[in-house]
Amino acid sequence: MKKELAVIILAAGKSTRMKSDLPKVLHPICARPMLGYVLDLVKSLKPKQVVAVLGHKQELVRKIIPSGVKIAIQKKLIGTAEAVKTGLSALKSFKGTVLVLYGDTPLLKKETIKKLLDYHLENEIDATLLTAYLKKPSGYGRIQRDKYFSISSIVEEKDADEAQKEIKEINTGIMVFKKETLESNLKYIRPNNRKKEYYLTDIIEILAKRNRLVDGIKAEDAKEVLGINTRAELASANAIVKKNINEKFMNNGVTILDPESTFISFGTKIGVDTVIYPFTVIERGVRIGKRCSVGPFAHLRDNVELKDDVTAGNFIEMVRAKIGSKTFVKHFSYIGDSFVGSNVNIGAGTVTANFDGVNKNNTVIKDNVKIGSDTIIVAPARIGKSAVTGAGSVITKNIPDNAVAVGVPARILKKGRRNG
């Protein structure tokens, strides 16, 4: 019979080793909080119930918890066993299988968890661990096996002796339990370790000694189980996700000339036959159309939208900007808080001066406009259809359709024709 599944996500811990004011699980990987990746994975498993255990700065973390996920608050941050106990308190009436995931292990794949769950259920195991073999296992709990090669306990790095530190098989932290087994054995865990914490990992030795069935399967790809405790591990995770994102775009018809130097945020949209030149950084909420050309050295910040056939060239910075199709912004420009139409040509060195020291102001540039090199547009300002600005002009007021504006501050040379 298929058992119901509940998931407990542990995300209450302090980010001691990150040395950060931000809770660890909110540290971004490719511009997305690491916990977001775990939440996505959980959603894809379609569990009956999900509990996120929060604690340290829970008011910040809960903002990214979707509705449908219960929140349980761990009052005393005294270890992963206490965290699981807190999670279980939100699953009182649940019966079935409990999967424990750590909020700082964001690279796990669904297939791996599925395999773990299948193995656990098919063999009617009490506790099934996901383990991994690492060439450099330091920092992780080590899996101890008895003479029959059965898992007998987990020893944390801090409590391990030299021989135990040599063990290459590690605890990834991902465990599946029969709920009843988990619930009835947590109480035997004691804080007998260097950190004086209640370690969930100690339940393994307890279960083994009580002749409960404990087993494990190995994660095939050790990269998946990377637990993030430090900024260096965060950088490793970033590198992996960045590579995955770039590969996905290339598989979907986007040319990335140098994936190494191309940083694309999670959730970016890019149309086919767009070419991304080297040293390009794309932040959150960016949408790029088809056949665009971006970079080299382009910085597209939050909420930029490029329609089809746009060129956002060398040394461009854009933020909160919408750029119409077939528009060129080719050389060193700053375009912020702007709505730019189609078939616009923005000359080299153009700046939208969007910040007056207090507020951010909008710039609107209508279709077919030609902005001369080195134009400064002091926002708020609107440049009408087919208008032209002279090189080096400083635009301080609205420019009508078809007008030509030159000078500092810009004056209008030729009025637009009425009614076209």
Positions that interact with Ca ion (CB under 5 A): 104, 227, 229
Query: In terms of CB distance, is 227 or 372 closer to Ca ion?
Result: 227
The 3-state secondary structure of the chain, one letter per residue: CCCCEEEEEEECCCCCCCCCCCCHHHCEECCEEHHHHHHHHHHHCCCCEEEEEECCCHHHHHHHCCCCCEEEECCCCCCHHHHHHHHHCCCCCCCCEEEEEECCCCCCCHHHHHHHHHHHHHCCCCEEEEEEECCCCCCCCEEEECCCCCEEEEECHHHCCHHHHCCCEEEEEEEEEEHHHHHHHHHHCCCCCCCCCCCCCHHHHHHHHCCCCEEEEECCCHHHHCCCCCHHHHHHHHHHHHHHHHHHHHHCCCEECCHHHEEECCCCEECCCCEECCCEEECCCCEECCCCEECCCCEECCCEEECCCCEEEECCEEEEEEECCCCEEEECCEEEEEEECCCCEECCCCEEECECCCCECCEEECCCCEECCCCEEECCEEECCCCEECCCCEECCCECCCCEEECCCCEEEECCCCCC
Name residues contacting ligand UD1, limited to 105-144 (CB under 6 A). Answer: 105, 140-141
Q: Which of Ca ion, ligand UD1, none lies near 22, with the C-beta cut-off 5 to 8 A by kind?
A: none
Total number of residues that touch ligand UD1 (CB under 6 A): 30
Query: In terms of CB distance, is 25 or 410 closer to Ca ion?
Result: 25
Asked if 10 is part of the footprint of ligand UD1 (rule: CB under 6 A), the reply reads yes
From the list 118-126, 199-207, 318-326, 348-356, the region that binds ligand UD1 by CB under 6 A is 199-207
Query: In terms of CB distance, is 28 or 380 closer to Ca ion?
Result: 28
Query: In terms of CB distance, is 49 or 105 closer to ligand UD1?
Result: 105
Asked if 173 is part of the footprint of ligand UD1 (rule: CB under 6 A), the reply reads yes
Query: In terms of CB distance, is 104 or 337 closer to Ca ion?
Result: 104
- Closest approach, Cβ 5 to ligand UD1, in A, equals 20
Give me the phi and psi of 239, to 5 degrees please.
Answer: -65, -40
Query: In terms of CB distance, is 10 or 388 closer to ligand UD1?
Result: 10
From the list 5-13, 207-215, 247-255, 394-402, the region that binds ligand UD1 by CB under 6 A is 5-13
Name residues contacting ligand UD1, limited to 82-101 (CB under 6 A). Answer: 82-83
Whether 56 is catalytic is: no
Residue position matching structure tokens 């965290």: 83
Asked if 286 is part of the footprint of ligand UD1 (rule: CB under 6 A), the reply reads no
Asked if 324 is part of the footprint of ligand UD1 (rule: CB under 6 A), the reply reads no
Asked if 156 is part of the footprint of ligand UD1 (rule: CB under 6 A), the reply reads yes
Would you state the structure tokens that stand for residue 242, as one six-digit string? 């960045």
Query: In terms of CB distance, is 13 or 324 closer to ligand UD1?
Result: 13
Q: Which of ligand UD1, Ca ion, none lies near 154, with the C-beta cut-off 5 to 8 A by kind?
A: ligand UD1
CA pair distance 175, 375, nearest whole angstrom: 60
- Closest approach, Cβ 399 to ligand UD1, in A, equals 55
Give me the phi and psi of 165, to 5 degrees please.
Answer: -65, -20
- Closest approach, Cβ 158 to Ca ion, in A, equals 13
- Closest approach, Cβ 56 to ligand UD1, in A, equals 7
Q: Using CB under 6 A, which of 4, 44, 77, 196 touches ligand UD1?
A: 77
- Closest approach, Cβ 54 to ligand UD1, in A, equals 8
Q: Which of 27, 56, 299, 331 is catalytic?
A: 331
- Closest approach, Cβ 349 to ligand UD1, in A, equals 47
The residues that touch ligand UD1, with contacts defined as CB under 6 A, are: 10-13, 53, 55, 74, 77-80, 82-83, 102-105, 140-141, 154, 156, 170-173, 199-201, 227, 229
Catalytically active residues are 331
